[in-house]
């Protein structure tokens, strides 16, 4: 179930140089966006009234470098997230204790989070692996609290016809191996979009920077359904969620400007149920 309830369209005022924005009613194409544009904002609006209920924004400078993220709940008028993004070489820092490591093309390599638990500093680290063609194929979680030469949890990503079709997460500690998470993704083979976001239903750790860093090749087509299951200690399914996507609206040059979402959206995805509008930063 989607847990971050409504955020506001008011974040549209946080525009930066060279950003272009537009929206389109489903079934009609909007104007041309540009040659080198990438998503910078997701806005959820009520399909009937048009009022904004959610806004997730990444602010870029004129060079295309991400500089801040903001999430706003218009129902309560509360900013849920307001964080500068600080770059230093290959490191993108979102706070003193949370940062991401990237390669020369700003494709994500590692996520690191440090916290103190009962006076002991603990470090969690995800390591991301891509194949030779640039598709994300594996993510592994390590923890300093369990000093083993193997990861605690491994996620594997399965691709078919250039689309991510399955994700599986399992505990991989010897003697404790069991499945934790499973997801399947279905696509509309007739629908695609330029430079759209990666859809990773397991990757809550990436949500704040999903528009700021590269994650390898995105899926070729637009997703139309995601089914997610989690598993208990006995290996039995203890929760399920299904989300559906459709009513795609495009710019004249092929960027996705909107879609409609229904069902229980995975918590790792910043797409609440209802009408979602997408706005772009262009270099």
Q: Which residue has the tokens 């003193």?
A: 96
pLDDT the model gives residue 8:
28
Top-level CATH class of 9-282?
mainly beta
Please tell me the predicted confidence (pLDDT) of residue 19.
Answer: 39
Cβ atoms of residues 14 and 61 within 8 Å? no
Other CB atoms closer than 10 Å to residue 200's CB: what's the count?
A: 24
**Spatial separation of the C-alpha atoms in residues 257 and 173, rounded to whole Å:** 43
Contact predicate 277/23, CB 8 Å: yes
pLDDT of residue 75: 65
Distance CA 72, CA 82 (A): 9
The values of phi and psi at residue 25, to 5°, are -65, 145
Sites in the chain below the pLDDT cut of 70: 1-30, 47-50, 52, 74-75
**How confident is the model at residue 65, as a pLDDT?**
92
Cα Rg of the chain (Å, integer): 19
| Domain residue ranges in the chain | 9-282
Which DSSP string corresponds to the chain? ---S----GGGGG---TTEE-----TTS-B----SSEEEEEEEEE-TTT--EEEEEEEEE-TTS-EEEEEEEETTTTEEEEEEE-EEETTEEESSSSEEEEE-TT-BEEEEEEEEEETTEEEEEEEEEEE-TTS-EEEEEEEETTS--SS-SEEEEEEEETTEEEEEEEEE-STT--EEEEEEEEEEETT---TT-----TT-GGGGGGTTTSB-SPPPSSEEEEEEEEEE-TTS-EEEEEEEEEEEEEEBTTS-EEEEEEEE---TTS---SEEEEEEEEE-
- Look up residue 101 and give its two tokens: 């490591």
pLDDT in tens, 27-74: 456 678 998 999 999 998 876 666 767 789 999 999 999 999 998 776
């Amino acid at each position: 179930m989607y847990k971050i309830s409504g955020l506001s369209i008011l974040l549209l005022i946080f525009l930066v140089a060279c950003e272009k924005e537009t929206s389109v009613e489903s079934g009609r194409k909007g104007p041309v966006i540009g040659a080198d544009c990438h998503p910078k904002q997701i806005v959820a609006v009520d399909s009937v009234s048009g009022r904004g209920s959610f806004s997730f924004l990444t602010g870029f400078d004129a060079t295309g470098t991400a500089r801040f993220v903001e999430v706003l709940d218009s129902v309560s008028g509360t900013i849920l997230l307001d964080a500068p993004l600080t770059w230093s070489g290959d490191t993108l820092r979102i706070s003193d204790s949370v940062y991401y490591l990237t390669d020369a093309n700003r494709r994500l390599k590692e996520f690191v989070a440090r916290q103190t638990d009962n006076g002991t500093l603990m470090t969690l680290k995800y390591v991301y692996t891509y194949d030779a063609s640039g598709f994300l194929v594996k993510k592994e979680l390590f923890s300093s609290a369990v000093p083993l030469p193997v990861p605690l949890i491994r996620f594997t990503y399965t691709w078919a016809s250039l689309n991510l079709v399955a994700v599986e997460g399992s505990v991989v500690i010897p003697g404790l191996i069991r499945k934790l998470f499973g997801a399947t993704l279905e696509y509309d083979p007739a629908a695609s979009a330029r430079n759209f976001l990666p859809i990773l239903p397991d990757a809550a750790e990436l949500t704040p920077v999903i528009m700021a860093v590269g994650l390898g090749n995105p899926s070729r087509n637009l997703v139309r359904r995601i089914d997610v299951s989690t598993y208990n200690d006995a290996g039995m399914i203890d929760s399920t969620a299904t989300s559906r996507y459709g009513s795609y609206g495009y710019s004249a040059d092929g960027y996705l400007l909107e879609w409609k979402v229904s069902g229980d959206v995975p918590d790792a995805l910043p797409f609440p149920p209802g009408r979602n509008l997408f706005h772009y930063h262009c270099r």
